[in-house]
A and B are shown apart, each in its own frame.
Chain A
Amino acid sequence: MTAAALSVRDLGMQFEGLSALADVSMEVPAGEIHGLIGPNGAGKTTFFNCLTGFYRPTAGELWLDAQRVDGLPTHVLSALGVSRTFQNIRLFANMTAIENVLVGSHIHIGVGGTDVLTARRPSKYAALERVLSLRGAPRAALQGVVELAGAVGRPPAVRRAEAEAVNTARRLLGAVGLAGKENVLARNLPYGDQRRLEVARALATRPGLLLLDEPTAGMNPQESAAMVGLIRRIRDEFETTVVLIEHQMRVVMGVCERITVLDYGRKIAEGTPAEVQRDTRVIEAYLGTRAVKEAGDGSP
């Protein structure tokens, strides 16, 4: 998939009186590596959850290229090219590495109809829409039967698609440095490998927008450096826009072209790493007001 441009307009996420995100707007041009930083509880992961349909945003709009995508179900967003990794690794623990990646390529193994066709924006008339979508139920049932027949009968087209997917999965595992570990259960992989496997699985969905949630968390400096290299390669080789949440400033400053800073669910700064580093509001958010004063005193 080609890299997609992300546009976020006045995004808000409210949980029963707790405002996790408010008026967040940002533009990420196609092919950029964009950093998302902020202190703990700033709303970074909530932002990712809104983008991937885990939460339905309570305000604002999300646009992927020219398509409005907020409120779409998770699997449809995935089909539209939004893929992600998780802060606390969420692999399919009892499946092998290659099977994890194959789940990622699920919709690209062509069997019967695709799920993308059923993508429909939810509206305020949800009840009416549910009634209308019944019209699609026979079609969905037919698609299901076709898919089942394909899986049981295994005609050449299905075999070919499956073999291709296995090849792609091997290639992806190789690309993230997991060659030779295809048949190891995900949960038996060392920690760093698990993080890399999550990236491979996300890449298997052929994302236009890849969301990485703390890809270097818990890694030592060498592993982090390798991950930074991997992120750059992903952007170049897989043609995808990358948004990453990161706490290690060395990583953020090293790999991101532009950075957005969140604090208490609001955007407080945006710009190149150098600009963000100088921003007094950012320093304040991270280190407190005294630090800003001292920094101000120290500089001419």
Chain B
Amino acid sequence: MNPIRQLGDTTVGRLPAAARWPLFLALVAMLPFLLSGVWIQMLFFVGLFIVLGLGLNVVVGFAGLLDLGYVAFFAAGAYSLGIMTSPGSPFDLNMNFWLVLPLGVLIAASFGVLLGLPVLPLRGDYLAIVTLGFGEIIRLFLVNREDVTAGSQGLSAIARPGIGSFRIETFTHWFYFILVAAVIVGFIASRLRDSRIGRAWEAIREDEDVAAAMGVNKVKYKLMAFAIGASVGGLGGVLYASFIGFINPAAFSLQVSIDVIAVVIIGGMGSTPGVILGSLVLVGFPRILQFKATADFLSKFEWLRDGLNGIIAAADTVVPGSIGRLPAASEWGRELSDDTRFIIFGALLVAIMVLRPEGLVPSRRRQLEFESDDQPVPAGGAA
């Protein structure tokens, strides 16, 4: 469609590009018929992080503004819904979900602009530090201002959406809801990327002084990037709060920001398939490890545990000292996904950054960027 996007050789698959996404979405939409409840619940969280990742991607991937406080916008959305709909909220508003959804997005967007204004002149590391602080400020606000947020007690019985008499309640309903949200956000992000706004962002990322010299109002476009990223974060927050039904400040720690940024970077900055894969790997996989089905499957490896424990016991007799024994094989998945998770996570991050610095599924542009300079791109490309 767009002639400018035809970079180099783009024949990735045999399917025409226009058919790839609808086909993929159709396949995804069939999943609830094939998978059980826990899987669908897992996919909801994967979808949630796809939404968040796509939003952060606008800020980090497109505009090149490293934002480590993304959880602030997620919290803004979640708490908007919580405060306005929960019966336990300090303000007894009991508003409708559909009314709060746009409000929450708007509130998050204004938080984005609020963060954007003071950090406009900052670049790189400095920007990262300030945004990190912003995320913490929001979390502390949630903990300490009990008169607004109900503090660490949290808010419960948060409203769920319904259309007429139909209520979005089951995991399957939520799966489709998040799927629709992800498609809308993905569509908006891709449209923005291929517009003059996207080009302005890219120019700012490359060299903001020169971008200004070419007529790009960098204040406006940086704020726009922050606002878009924040509104998507807010959307994610609203959906999360409604799905979970209960929120407290502990859910909005720095870890969320790091998870989202890891999804973006592992997947490949600026790339939508990358965000999907990154979310599956980082959000989906640890949850799969916790499934009962996984435990049942792993319990078949009891013999392996016995064997390993035998070796450990032998080592123990040779070199006396207390070495622990392995837990029951059925517990391995849970163990891995709890404490050990971060070690494996870290190792995975390091491995991916060493082996594929451009991410798992890099955007075409990144791919070109990471190619070495002495391999010039075929001139003219597909045009």
User: Which of A's residues lie within 8 Å of B, judged by CB?
Assistant: 52-54, 73-75, 78-79, 83-84, 86, 90-96, 98-99, 102-104, 106-107, 109, 111, 115, 118, 140, 144, 147-148, 150-152, 154, 158, 162, 165-166, 180-185, 187-188, 201-202, 204-205
Of the residues A94, A111, A150, contact of B369 by C-beta under 8 Å = A94
- Residues in B with CB closer than 8 Å to A91 are 210
Complex contact A79–B381 (CB within 8 A) = no
List the interface of chain B (C-beta within 8 A of A).
3-4, 6-8, 187-188, 191-192, 195-200, 202-203, 206-207, 209-218, 220, 223-224, 227-228, 365, 368-369, 373, 376-377, 379-383
- With CB as the reference atom, state the residue of chain B lying closest to A166: B3
**B229 CB, min distance to chain A CBs, angstroms:** 13
- Chain B residues with Cβ below 8 Å from A115 are 215, 217, 220
- Inter-subunit contact B206/A188 (CB<8 Å): no
Do A92 and B380 touch (CB < 8 A)?
Answer: no
B4 to chain A: which residues have CB within 8 Å?
A: 96, 98-99, 102, 166, 183
A54→B209 contact, CB < 8 A? yes
A94 lies within 8 A of B365 (CB): yes
Query: Is A152 within 8 A of B188, CB to CB?
Result: yes
Q: Closest chain A residue to B197 by CB distance?
A: A151
- Docked-complex contact B196 and A106, CB < 8 angstroms: yes
By a CB distance below 8 angstroms, the chain B residues around A75 are 212-213, 215-218
Residues of chain B within 8 A of A90, CB atoms compared: 207, 209-210
- List residues of chain B with CB within 8 A of the CB of A92: 202-203, 206-207, 210-211
CA of A267 to CA of B195, assembled, Å: 45
* A-B residue pairs, 7 tightest by C-beta: A151-B195, A183-B381, A74-B212, A92-B206, A78-B215, A107-B215, A103-B203
Which residues from A are CB-within-8-Å of B365? 94
User: Is B196 a contact of A184 with CB atoms below 8 Å?
Assistant: no
Measured between beta carbons, the chain B residues less than 8 angstroms from A148 are 192, 197, 224, 228
* A residues in contact with B215, CB < 8 Å: 75, 78-79, 104, 106-107, 115, 205
Contacts of A165 in B (CB 8 A): 196
The answer to whether B199 and A99 have CB atoms under 8 Å apart is yes
Query: Which residues of chain A come closer than 8 Å to B217, judged between CB atoms?
Result: 75, 115, 118
Give Cα A184 to B371, complex, Å. Answer: 13
Instruction: Indicate the member of B4, B6, B383 with the most A CB atoms within 10 Å.
Output: B4
- B196: which of A79, A98, A111, A205 is its contact (CB, 8 Å)? A111
Pick 27 A–B contacts, CB within 8 A, sort by A: A54-B213, A90-B210, A92-B210, A94-B206, A94-B368, A99-B4, A103-B214, A103-B216, A104-B214, A111-B196, A148-B224, A151-B195, A151-B196, A152-B188, A152-B195, A158-B195, A166-B4, A180-B380, A182-B383, A183-B377, A183-B380, A184-B379, A184-B380, A185-B377, A188-B376, A205-B214, A205-B215
Please, how many angstroms separate the alpha-carbon atoms of A53 and B188 in the complex?
Answer: 34
A77 → chain B, closest Cβ, in Å? 8
Instruction: Determine if A147 and B197 form an interchain contact, defined as CB atoms under 8 angstroms apart.
Output: yes
Inter-chain contact A180/B191, CB cutoff 8 Å? no
Not counting A106-B199, A115-B215, A181-B380, a sample of 10 additional A-B residue pairs whose C-beta atoms are within 8 angstroms of each other reads A75-B217, A94-B365, A104-B214, A115-B220, A144-B224, A162-B196, A183-B381, A184-B377, A201-B214, A205-B215
B108 to chain A, nearest CB (A): 15
- Name the distance in Å between B190's Cβ and chain A's nearest Cβ: 10
Contacts of B213 in A (CB 8 A): 52-54, 74-75, 78, 83-84
What is the CB-to-nearest-CB distance from B152 to chain A, in angstroms, rounded to a whole number? 35
Cα A56 to Cα B365 in complex, Å, equals 36
Whether B202 pairs with A95 at a CB distance below 8 angstroms is yes
A93 touching B212, Cβ below 8 Å: no
| A193 shortest CB reach to chain B, Å | 10
Task: Please indicate the chain A residues that have their CB under 8 angstroms from the CB of B380 in the complex.
Answer: 180-184
CA distance A202 to B187 in the complex (A): 32
* Shortest Cβ distance from residue A209 to the other chain B in the assembled complex, whole angstroms: 13
Q: How far is the CA of A279 from the CA of B198 in the complex (A)?
A: 51
> Is B377 in contact with A151, judged by CB distance below 8 angstroms?
no
CA of A282 to CA of B280 in the docked complex: distance in angstroms?
A: 69
Q: Which residues of the other chain, A, contact B220 by a CB distance below 8 angstroms?
A: 115, 140, 144
Q: In the bound complex, do residue B206 and residue A95 qualify as a contact, i.e. CB atoms below 8 Å apart?
A: yes
Shortest beta-carbon distance from A12 to chain B in Å: 22
Say whether B206 contacts A74, CB under 8 Å: no
A228 to B218, alpha carbons, bound, how many Å? 33
Residues of B with C-beta under 8 A to A79: 215
Which residue of chain B lies nearest to A163 when distances are taken between CB atoms in the complex? B3
Complex alpha-carbon distance, A202 and B214, angstroms: 7
B379 lies within 8 A of A181 (CB): yes
Residue of B nearest to A147 (CB): B197
Q: Which of A78, A150, A158, A166 contacts B214 (CB 8 A)?
A: A78
